[in-house]
Amino acid sequence: MENRPPPAALANAPTAHGLRGDYSAMRADWTIAQPVGSYTSADHALWRTLYERQTKLVRDYAAPVFVKSLRDMECADAIPDMERLSTRLRKATGWEVVAVPGLLPNEVFFDHLANRRFPSSWWIRKPEELDYLVEPDVFHDLFGHVPLLFDPVFADYMQQYGLGGPKAIEHDAVDILARLYWYMVEFGLIMTDDGVKAYGAGMLSSFGETQFSVDDPAPNRIGFDLERVMRTRYWIDRYQSTYFVLPDFERLFRDSIDTDFGPLYERIKGHEPYAPDAVVDGDRVIHRGAAA
Ligand code: HBI
Ligand code: FE
């Protein structure tokens, strides 16, 4: 176990307040052994509170694959053991969950995803952070992100996202690629036989944003278009003003595979980004936001 200082690369991380995790005892790949023994009964009780609150919403607002995968994860009672969870996940899609101290430098994060390893913070938020925390905690990562990794097509997409990281770094376009992750992994909506449903980790781990994203009249809901998403700025400190809606996960995966991102980055860099609440010519508007 090498001892390493918190990475300078993270100094300007989205979490301007500085990072919470202990980055001093990590493996070379920035993972740590999940300190399962260190969780207190209060930590597990907080997990149950968050889990029970969100599962009341999931029935009505979440995509069916999220509901089914969450049930199969059987993690209602306590903060899951990531190794046990990985044993199930590997059988489904070859992914595993690895414990990390918190936010990672982009290239490290991309490399884990490229190898079907989802890096999850190991620590849980404080009770006073029930509704908002700046850096992803174990609830956001395991409850929010892992269920979708049981879907074979979305699991393939997440690996593609990681594989595409180095080209974004090469084009100095990580901020453009990150919009795709933000809108389609953290805050994505999908059309189902039962209407628009949420699948994004950011909204499904948030008590207020789950309902807001699916049926509040305020935000725009616009049909997914890869370039449109990658041109659109997003909020990191409030509910989104626009959500993009997939017809299915295949569309996200196919468009990613079929696109040469190099020229796309250069084209996008030549234009002003769209504001988070913009509705532009060519948009397939499913719902025009009341606030727009
Ligand atoms: N690190 N642990 C962790 N989790 C993330 O979601 C994450 C990250 N580092 C970088 C990052 N996300 C995004 O900035 C990239 O998708 C661009
Ligand atoms: Fe996340």
CATH number at 82 reads 1.10.800.10
Q: Is 158 within 8 Å of 149 (Cβ atoms)?
A: yes
Structural domain contains residue 76: yes
Domain membership of residue 116 as a residue range:
39-287
Structural domain contains residue 21: no
Nearest ligand by distance to the CA of 103: 1
| Number of domains present in the structure of the chain | 1
> What is the dihedral sign for C-alpha 140, 159, 105, 238?
negative
C-alpha closest to that of 153 among 67, 65, 68: 65
Ligand 2 centroid vs 284 CA: distance in angstroms?
Answer: 26
**The whole model's pTM is what?**
0.93
In this structure, what token pair is assigned to residue 60?
A: 């009505």
Q: Is 142 within 8 Å of 51 (Cβ atoms)?
A: no
Ligand 1 centroid vs 95 CA: distance in angstroms?
Answer: 17
Structural domain contains residue 8: no
In this structure, what token pair is assigned to residue 31?
A: 């993972």
Question: From atom 6 of ligand 1, which residue's Cα is the shortest distance away?
Answer: 103
**In this predicted structure, what is the pLDDT of residue 113?**
98
**In this predicted structure, what is the pLDDT of residue 8?**
55
Which atom of ligand 1 is nearest to 105's Cα? 9
Which atom of ligand 1 is nearest to 104's Cα? 1
**In this predicted structure, what is the pLDDT of residue 6?**
52
140-155 burial, b for 16+ CB within 10 Å, e for fewer? bbbbbbbbbbbbebbb
Question: From atom 16 of ligand 1, which residue's Cα is the shortest distance away?
Answer: 178
**In this predicted structure, what is the pLDDT of residue 2?**
38
How far apart are alpha carbons 11 and 23 in whole angstroms? 13
In this structure, what token pair is assigned to residue 240?
A: 């989104």
Q: Write the pLDDT tens digit of every residue in 15-69.
A: 445 688 888 889 999 999 999 999 999 999 999 999 999 999 999 999 999 999 9
Structural domain contains residue 34: no
Q: Is 256 within 8 Å of 204 (Cβ atoms)?
A: no
CB contact set of 132 (below 8 Å; sequence gap of 6+): none
Which residues on adjacent β-strands are paired with residue 189? 198, 245
CA 188 to chain centre: 9
| Among the ranges given (5-19, 21-35, 193-207), the one the predictor scored with the smallest mean pLDDT | 5-19
In angstroms, what CA-CA distances link 16 with 11, 12, 72? Answer: 8, 6, 36
Q: Is 19 within 8 Å of 3 (Cβ atoms)?
A: no
Structural domain contains residue 11: no
How far apart are alpha carbons 88 and 75 in whole angstroms? 12
Pocket (CB within 6 angstroms of ligand 1):
100, 103-104, 106, 109, 119, 136, 174, 178, 181
**In this predicted structure, what is the pLDDT of residue 1?**
35
Question: From atom 17 of ligand 1, which residue's Cα is the shortest distance away?
Answer: 178
Structural domain contains residue 7: no
C-alpha closest to that of 196 among 222, 175, 173: 222
Strands 25-26 and 2-3: antiparallel
Structural domain contains residue 25: no
How far apart are alpha carbons 189 and 203 in whole angstroms? 10
Structural domain contains residue 18: no
Ligand 1 centroid vs 102 CA: distance in angstroms?
Answer: 9
